[in-house]
């Protein structure tokens, strides 16, 4: 089931430039693939600005609805862990449950919505407040109430809208939130949307009752639905597709009575991919680099950790001329633009800390702050930016969406475990010998054989050192060597056979 609706976002007609002057934006969307994954690329005046990816089958994105089964309730955490049919269990805070919390118990089947995508070792954060978004309203399949956007303040308009939707809701037992876009909407159009979402909600409830298996029932983050919800309201002039099958899907979307605008469908008739036609290979490669050069010779270095993303701004090869005071400002202003672009392109979320080059004047910090905020207003994800601190640090948070290019992050190196540093082989060989003797001392009867399990690089070091032959002679028993899984945290392990 897929709801193709646009969210309420005003048209975006200006962009920040280095001189902070507005410029008209022309938006184009390319529906293609990256590394075999379906995606959409957003171009603003021909420049790649954002990427939407189809999430992996074992992933889950905000807004997805799951049939779940409670695995365990942990009173100390004030939360429950729920099987969702994914690789990781969902985390359900008890404050996000409906009805008396004490009724939640292991084995109980519940309907859930994803609040926050899985990240790192954490599973998705869930809520029992199930909602299906539309353009003018949000449907609550299990909520018998009518809510209004805070921006709909006119009492008569609220009464008019309630009179339109109340009869249908009484029949279905469902509820709605009337969004800002519902204000002033025609009765027929609002009813048409409500009827569609009501049918989606009914199908969802029926499917939940029919099959007891934990699984995803509704996906809010297919590429096409995200394009319509996130990008079409910006005023997209063209949508380009690679194949006829996708063209048919786009045609159906653009024919929807809830869409407005003059978006044109374009089909790729060349043998080259859309990425090549529009010259996007270089920016796509660039978003994978740790260090990026700025136009004036400065650099930014982007390091993503488990807790946050840290971005360091450096002077690099910059030559600022005679005016020394212009050096940090020029680099910081260039960095603000590139950082905003890379945050969107890479899908960086959570806590972000930017270490700008020190600025002495308060007005300089304020100017960099304004420029960064101006560029980030172009981002569809919710972002909060704190003022630059006395030591030049800017802190920001960006909403986790689970649909950006961050899903295509490089695979973590098995040798250094993602740290960029590796233990010296001499030290590891000493540790292997120590553990062999430790295992032998821990048993009362000598074992028939020991087996050292190690990653590929450690195996090669052991084989080339002659370590095992030496240990066998001293211990008086055979010691074998075998490969250890690349995803193992420890580089080696010693076990008794």
**Residue 246: both structure tokens together:** 């996708």
Residue 85 bridge partners (DSSP): none
Give the DSSP letter of residue 122: B
Q: Report angle CA 234, 240, 241 to the nearest 5 degrees.
A: 130
Interstrand relation of 125-127 and 215-218 (parallel, antiparallel or unpaired): unpaired
CA 89, CA 68: separation in Å to the nearest integer?
9
**Residue 96: both structure tokens together:** 């996000």
Count of alpha carbons within 13 Å of 130, Cβ hemisphere only?
24
Q: What is the pTM of this model?
A: 0.63
> By C-alpha distance, which of 331, 343, 335 is closest to 378?
343
Interstrand relation of 47-53 and 37-44 (parallel, antiparallel or unpaired): antiparallel
Q: Report angle CA 116, 117, 122 to the nearest 5 degrees.
A: 100
> By C-alpha distance, which of 9, 24, 32 is closest to 239?
32
Sign of CA dihedral 4, 9, 13, 17: negative
354 CB burial (10 A radius; 0-12, 13-18, 19+): buried
Interstrand relation of 299-304 and 350-355 (parallel, antiparallel or unpaired): unpaired
The pLDDT score that the predictor gives to residue 87 is 84
The pLDDT score that the predictor gives to residue 289 is 87
Q: At what angle do helices 467-475 and 425-441 cross, to 10 degrees?
A: 20
Interstrand relation of 79-83 and 37-44 (parallel, antiparallel or unpaired): unpaired
Residue owning tokens 């969406």: 401
Q: What are phi and psi of 461, to 5 degrees?
A: -65, -40
Secondary structure E strands in 45-131: 47-53, 65-74, 79-83, 90-93, 109-116, 125-127
* Structure-derived torsion over alpha carbons of residues 136, 138, 143, 149, reported in degrees to the nearest 10: -70
CA 247, CA 127: separation in Å to the nearest integer?
35
CA 342, CA 375: separation in Å to the nearest integer?
11
Q: What is the pLDDT along the chain (497 residues), one digit of tens a residue?
A: 333 222 222 333 333 444 444 456 899 999 998 877 888 999 999 999 998 886 555 567 888 999 999 999 998 889 999 999 888 899 999 988 876 545 788 999 999 999 988 876 788 999 999 999 887 889 999 888 999 998 899 999 999 999 999 999 988 899 999 988 889 988 988 998 899 889 989 999 999 999 899 999 988 778 888 787 778 877 899 999 998 888 988 988 887 655 666 889 999 988 888 998 999 988 888 888 889 999 888 999 999 887 899 999 998 765 555 455 577 889 999 999 999 999 988 889 899 999 999 888 889 999 999 999 998 987 878 899 999 998 889 999 998 765 556 555 555 565 565 566 666 777 788 888 888 998 888 888 888 899 999 888 888 888 888 899 999 988 889 999 998 876 566 778 898 88
- The 10 Å CB-count burial string (b at 16+, else e) for 296-332 is bbbbbebebeeeebbbbbbbeebebeeeeeebbbbbb
The pLDDT score that the predictor gives to residue 46 is 92
Length of the chain: 497
Residue 240 bridge partners (DSSP): 30, 266
Q: Report angle CA 175, 179, 180 to the nearest 5 degrees.
A: 155
> By C-alpha distance, which of 463, 457, 466 is closest to 422?
457
Q: Report angle CA 277, 279, 281 to the nearest 5 degrees.
A: 115
> By C-alpha distance, which of 288, 112, 109, 308 is closest to 209?
109
**Residue 228: both structure tokens together:** 């319509």
**Cα 52 to the center of its chain, rounded Å:** 9
Give SS3 for 144: coil
Give SS3 for 113: strand
CA 480, CA 224: separation in Å to the nearest integer?
54
């Amino acid at each position: 089931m897929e709801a193709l609706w646009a969210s309420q976002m005003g048209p975006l007609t200006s962009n920040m430039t280095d001189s902070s002057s507005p410029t008209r934006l022309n938006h184009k969307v390319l529906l293609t693939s990256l590394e075999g994954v379906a995606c959409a690329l957003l171009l603003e005046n021909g420049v790649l600005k954002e990427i939407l990816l189809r999430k992996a089958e074992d992933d889950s994105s905000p807004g997805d609805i799951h049939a779940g089964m409670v695995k365990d309730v942990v009173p100390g955490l004030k939360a429950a862990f729920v099987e969702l049919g994914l690789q990781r269990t969902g985390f359900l805070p008890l404050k996000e449950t409906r009805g008396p919390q004490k009724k939640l118990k292991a084995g109980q089947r519940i309907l859930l919505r994803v609040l926050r995508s899985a990240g790192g070792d954490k599973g998705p954060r869930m809520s029992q407040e199930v909602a299906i978004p539309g353009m003018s309203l949000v449907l609550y399949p299990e909520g018998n109430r009518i809510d209004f956007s805070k921006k709909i303040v006119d009492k008569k308009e609220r009464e008019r809208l309630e009179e339109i939707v109340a009869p249908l809701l009484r029949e279905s037992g469902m509820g709605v939130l009337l969004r800002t876009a519902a204000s002033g909407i025609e009765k027929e159009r609002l009813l048409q949307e409500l009827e569609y979402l009501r049918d989606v909600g009914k199908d969802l409830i029926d499917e939940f009752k029919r099959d007891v298996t934990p699984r995803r029932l509704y996906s809010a983050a297919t590429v096409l639905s995200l394009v319509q919800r996130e990008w079409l309201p910006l005023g997209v002039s063209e949508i380009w597709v690679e194949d006829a099958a996708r063209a048919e899907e786009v045609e159906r979307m653009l024919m929807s009575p809830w869409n407005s605008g003059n978006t044109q469908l374009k089909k790729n008739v060349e043998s080259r991919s859309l990425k090549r036609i529009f010259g996007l290979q270089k920016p796509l490669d660039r978003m994978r680099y740790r260090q990026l050069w700025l136009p004036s010779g400065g650099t930014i270095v982007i390091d993503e950790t488990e807790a946050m993303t840290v971005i360091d701004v450096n002077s690099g090869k910059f030559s600022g001329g005679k005016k020394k005071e212009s050096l940090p400002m020029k680099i910081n202003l260039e960095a603000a633009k590139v950082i905003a672009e890379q945050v969107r392109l890479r899908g960086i979320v959570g806590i972000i800390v930017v270490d700008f080059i020190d600025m002495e004047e308060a007005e300089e910090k304020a100017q960099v702050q304004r420029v960064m905020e101006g560029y980030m207003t172009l981002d569809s994800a919710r972002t909060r930016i704190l003022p630059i601190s006395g030591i030049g640090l800017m802190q920001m948070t960006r909403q986790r969406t689970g649909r950006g290019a961050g899903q295509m992050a490089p695979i973590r190196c098995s040798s250094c475990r993602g740290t960029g540093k590796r233990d010296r082989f001499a030290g590891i060989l000493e540790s292997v010998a120590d553990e062999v003797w430790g295992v032998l001392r821990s048993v009362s009867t000598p074992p028939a054989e020991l087996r050292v399990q190690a990653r590929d690089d450690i195996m090669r070091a052991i084989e080339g050192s002659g370590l095992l032959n030496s240990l066998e002679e001293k211990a008086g028993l055979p010691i074998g060597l075998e490969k250890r899984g690349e995803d193992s945290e420890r580089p080696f392990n010693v076990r008794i056979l």
